[in-house]
Structure 1
């Protein structure tokens, strides 16, 4: 899945229903990816996240 591919890029994200499966099912959403950004997140971290998401999209689409 996308989270596993991002992990291989050195980016930690969570993928899935995030404890709200009934709501996501009601909206027809199969799952989401969540990235947490904090005080020590820098521009390189954001760039890595974007690159990882693009690569995962290309591989999984």
Structure 2
């Protein structure tokens, strides 16, 4: 399973790109807590009205995998 972490160099950039691409996303939607990857995906799925597989692909397309 991929690990999402704000300590990874690409996380802040990916968050910024996601916010630019999807103007409805905010810092709370993209909040990451260690070990809470599924909660992050669930928030994004709910906010963007997408299924979990689409969210996984979206994150990968933004370099988060």
TM-score by length of 1: 0.34
Rg: which structure is higher? 1
The structure with the greater share of residues assigned to strand is: 1
* TM-score normalised by the chain length of structure 2: 0.33
